[in-house]
Amino acid sequence: MAEIIDGRAIARQLDETTKAEVDALVEAGHPAPGLTVILVGEDPASEVYVRRKIKACEKVGIKSTEHRLPADTSQDDLLALIDTLNKDSAVHGILCQVPLPDHIDTRLVLRSISPEKDVDGFHPVNVGRLSTGTGGIVPCTPLGVMMLIHSVIPDLTGKDVVVIGKSNIVGKPVANLLLDAEATVTVTHIYTHGLPEICRKADVIVAAAGAPELVKGHWVKDGAVLIDVGITRQETEDGKTKLVGDIKFDEVQHAAAVTPVPGGVGPMTIACLLANTVQAARAAMVGNSSSDSDYADAPSRTMFTGSGNNPN
């Protein structure tokens, strides 16, 4: 029987560390860290995620501000808002919920957020730092994935890890983090030939293809660890909706451990956002924001990984 990796419990643990960091900053006379969340349009899933982010901020003492903009907001107006927030010293973290409406150039918007305030870790400066192992802000979902893996495999040295999915938000950054942890990483995607055979050799599979129930039981070797990043809403026969991951959960009981959907990677994404916000605030408050070691020794970063970025 595979162990279920409880993402909600691990996220709560991380939130406790984050709250302690917020308390320590405030006790030292600093203002509470401030996070600004921008939501453009009315995508129902994005509304859910933004609500959760705002509520989570309250729990750990982060001061959150929301900007809800209509779907027809112009790109220039959005860029002007971000420019104002970049200059506001009470704002330590800025995130723009994606997806954005089609008339807005997402890449341009994400790179307009100051790298120091980019708590999503999507800015090219942070992407470059991650891929060279030189600090920066790590994207929330990949950071959460690493913490979930480390909760069952503390040392990944030499482990064979297959990542399914090559997105900029999950697949590519998670591959970099796994390499930093000395794993042997194979990055694949839905067009990869022989995907079942490749997966069958893996000690760990990170499924992030956005393809519901792609990974079948016979793709998984006995004792593997499975991390399911996919979340697809499906309608059931009785007209209700259910969330489905990229792994066929019922067929993988021979794995050592598996993350559920919901309750696995999702809650970690939000907990890591809070941790990133505190790190950005701390860097702004103590200066030194361009140093390689800004985040490397932060408690929230080292809690499950043992260390920050490996420089080698």
- If binding is defined by CB under 6 A, does position 141 make contact with ligand LMY7XDAE? yes
CB atoms within 10 A of CB 269: 24
Which tokens go with 7?
Answer: 């993402």
Q: Is 234 a catalytic residue?
A: no
Residue ranges of alpha helices (H) inside the chain are 7-27, 44-60, 75-87, 106-112, 124-131, 140-152, 171-180, 195-200, 265-286, 299-302
Rg (CA), the chain: 19
CA distance 113 to 126: 11
Q: Which stretch binds ligand LMY7XDAE (CB under 6 A): 20-28, 96-104, 220-228, 250-258?
A: 96-104
Q: Is 97 a catalytic residue?
A: yes
What would the x/- binding string for ligand LMY7XDAE be over residues 244 to 263, using CB under 6 A?
-----------------xxx
Q: Which of 63, 97, 118, 248 is catalytic?
A: 97
Closest approach, Cβ 165 to ligand LMY7XDAE, in A, equals 13
- If binding is defined by CB under 6 A, does position 119 make contact with ligand LMY7XDAE? no
Q: Is 203 a catalytic residue?
A: no
Closest approach, Cβ 49 to ligand LMY7XDAE, in A, equals 4
CA distance 147 to 9: 12
Report whether 257 contacts 2 (CB < 8 A): yes
Q: Which of 15, 118, 120, 203 is catalytic?
A: 120
Which one of residues 34, 133, 267, 308 is an interface residue with ligand LMY7XDAE (CB under 6 A)?
267
When the beta carbons of 218 and 233 are compared against ligand LMY7XDAE, the nearer one is 233
